[in-house]
Structure 1
């Protein structure tokens, strides 16, 4: 495992982190890990050198934070924990008055006295603007009290990163970035130059860039949101992606190495539903993607996707 600084926050994180949406999640996926396997996955992640763990109050119906807190007992000083604010098992509450209570509940669930990073969880766009909301004053108070070390936003588009950099003290971004969704590429580099760290989410495009699906795939879970036309387009672009990656790399490893080629990225959090997936993801940190492959994938995006982005 290799490690990177998280902006100028003083935190250091593993290049490959663990996204904990899947922990104990048998609701969204029939093959999701149960509690025993979830604890085993976190244990194996620690053994592999992973130090960054990402969760949220609503993940796995509220069980993810609890399981992660249980699994990380005895390891707290050696890990960085990121959780979120705004989405909960019972719905959403982005009001400023709910922020402190959300942090306090996460502290209890995660069995810790501080949270390293808290991000606003894909909120309405106006909440990224520190000039029109009181959230960032509360974040600063929580930071002064030692309850959090850094804060920011979970974002999908470059304009949200740019707004937060210009109007808040945000030092943490969780950004949708992949070979097929490169819109935030330059903004992520800008965030790094400004002293912020970025966590990359959806780097495998919900499994497409891991080679799990084809144009004939039929979805009955959360991925059923894609129309037949979207499935066909994703399949075509995935084939283009696979044609450009070096021999000897799995598609998942190439996809993860691609986002790690961005100078602003601190860590990437591929979802992990099994120990086998974890091992494949960890292997992505062994080396860099060749510069010519990065350039070819940047060209693929510019020619076939830019201006007509994929839907979530």
Structure 2
């Protein structure tokens, strides 16, 4: 087993929740899982508890609440029930519970504070160790007041627009989360034709990374995040990404890219 690297989080959005993938992740030193109540057709928590309940204590588990079978809701009562159900279905308390894409409900500051309070209370009652907010599109959330989150999770990488990057950075400044995490570093798929048209290695100081390693590494700086959730069903893909983490980003190239991105927006 390799040394634990908490920068890489195995995301389960598109995963089939296979036990062998979880075992392979542990062998690679990946000891964090990110899921949500609505993943796997609203069965993710139960599937993890049934298929890998004995492995879950070896992982730091983060999950998200906010999506229900009848749609999205920030109702405090429904969020509270969702957290309780997650604990029961997982067979353990998750380490982190995130408010899932609150922008989908078009909240105001009062609604956000009430929703955040449910998750903060969940920490106080022992249902989780930390709480936070996960947002796919942070732009509608800029300017809203919230309780200070432990974690802010945002979209990251070369396919994220300038306005979304700027909004994510504005939330970091305003909300002062303890940790910022990224997600979807490849914009959904490494097989997207765009990855055949660009060479992310231009952003690194050394050229000996693979293009996917380079894209993954650069995503940690667009915007600046400390950990990255990446989804895969293939252990070799996860191994390749872990192998590219030590490459150094060329700050001058990154700065020029952000300037060009803003000019073209």
1:120 to 92, 99, 108: 99
1:264 deviates by 4.5
1:259 deviates by 2.3
Could you tell me how far apart the structure 1 residues matched to 2:89 and 2:135 are? 24
Higher relative contact order structure (alpha carbons within 8 Å, sequence separation ≥ 6): 1
1:20 deviates by 0.7
1:1-312 matches, within 5 Å, as 14-24=6-16, 38-70=18-50, 72-89=52-69, 91-112=71-92, 114-123=93-102, 124=104, 126-127=106-107, 129-130=109-110, 134-159=114-139, 162-163=142-143, 166-181=145-160, 182=162, 183-184=164-165, 187-188=168-169, 191=172, 194-207=176-189, 210=190, 212-214=191-193, 235=194, 239-242=197-200, 244-245=202-203, 247-261=207-221, 264-304=224-264, 307=265
SS at match of 1:175: strand
The 1:142–1:301 alpha-carbon spacing in structure 2 relative to 1, beyond 3 Å, is same
1:79 deviates by 2.5
1:245 deviates by 4.8
1:75 deviates by 4.5
Could you tell me how far apart the structure 2 residues matched to 1:130 and 1:150 are? 21
The 1:47–1:88 alpha-carbon spacing in structure 2 relative to 1, beyond 3 Å, is farther
Say whether the 8 Å CA contact 1:177–1:200 is kept in structure 2: yes
Say whether the 8 Å CA contact 1:58–1:87 is kept in structure 2: yes
SS at match of 2:30: coil
Structure 1 unmatched ranges of 5 or more: 4-12, 25-34, 215-234, 308-312
Say whether the 8 Å CA contact 1:128–1:163 is kept in structure 2: no
Deviations 1:157-189 (A, max 9, x none): 44456546x431322122112112153357448
1:242 deviates by 4.2
In structure 2, the partner of 1:232 is none
Say whether the 8 Å CA contact 1:21–1:64 is kept in structure 2: no
Could you tell me how far apart the structure 1 residues matched to 2:261 and 2:52 are? 39
Say whether the 8 Å CA contact 1:131–1:167 is kept in structure 2: no
In structure 2, the partner of 1:221 is none
SS at match of 1:269: strand
Could you tell me how far apart the structure 2 residues matched to 1:281 and 1:245 are? 16
Could you tell me how far apart the structure 2 residues matched to 1:147 and 1:77 are? 15
Say whether the 8 Å CA contact 2:156–2:222 is kept in structure 1: no
Say whether the 8 Å CA contact 2:158–2:218 is kept in structure 1: yes
TM-score by length of 2: 0.81
1:252 deviates by 2.0
Structure 2 unmatched ranges of 5 or more: none
